[in-house]
Amino acid sequence: MTRREIREHIFLMLFRKDFHEATELTEQMELYIAELETPSLEEYTYLTNRFQTVVSHLEEIDQTLSEAASGWKLNRMNKVDLTILRLAVYEMKFDEDVPVKVAINEAVEMAKTFGGDESPSFVNGVLAKLA
- Domains assigned to the chain: 3-128 (1.10.940.10)
Question: DSSP 3-state assignment of 61?
Answer: helix
Q: From first to last of its 131 residues, what are the pLDDT tens digits of the chain?
A: 888 999 999 999 999 888 877 777 788 888 888 888 777 888 888 888 999 999 999 999 999 999 998 888 998 999 999 999 999 999 999 999 999 999 999 999 999 999 999 999 999 999 999 98
Distance spanning both ends of the chain, measured CA to CA: 28
d(CA 4, CA 110): 9
d(CA 88, CA 82): 10
Alpha helices in 1-99 (DSSP H): 3-17, 25-35, 41-56, 58-68, 79-94
The pair phi, psi for residue 98, each rounded to 5°, is: -110, 115
Note if the pTM is more than 0.85.
yes
d(CA 8, CA 13): 9
Long-range contacts formed by 35-42: CB under 8 A, 24+ apart: 36/9, 39/1
